[in-house]
Amino acid sequence: MSDMLTMVSSLLAAHAGTFILFALAPISASLLLDGLVAAFRGKGLVPLLVAAALTLGAVMLGFLMRQYGLSGLEDSPTRESDTAGLERNAALYLTFSIPLAILAAAIRIGRAALSRR
């Protein structure tokens, strides 16, 4: 029973880490662009530093959760299929999160440019 619980919790951590790393981190990284724009407009470095800290925190948390989950699946009989599923999910998350991050950054920068006029 404890082996099954360990396997399920490891798989859950691996999937959550994959989501954070490949879906949320690119979206938080788009805030870096906003921070750069704010710094160039003379609004200080605070937005850039906050965005950098948020992105670094998301990447670190996602990486650690994914590694914890994968380490718990080492003795699992379904390790190959679980790892393949994580890779498919990562590709799917990136397919949608990168264009959404670019679109969100463009909208925020455009809104800031229009409100400035």
For 5, residues 6+ apart whose C-beta sits below 8 A from its C-beta are: none
Q: Two tokens at 53?
A: 């800290």
Yes or no: say if 6 and 72 are a contact pair by the CB < 8 Å rule: yes
Yes or no: say if 14 and 73 are a contact pair by the CB < 8 Å rule: yes
In the predicted structure, residue 117 carries a pLDDT above the cut 80: no
Tell me: the pLDDT tens digits for 67-115? 999 888 887 788 888 889 999 999 999 999 999 999 999 998 888 778 8
Tell me: the pLDDT tens digits for 15-62? 999 999 999 999 998 888 888 888 888 888 898 899 999 999 999 999
In the predicted structure, residue 1 carries a pLDDT above the cut 90: no
Task: Quote the CA–CA distance of 16 and 31 in Å, as a whole number.
Answer: 22
Task: Quote the CA–CA distance of 41 and 34 in Å, as a whole number.
Answer: 10
The pLDDT value given to residue 39: 86
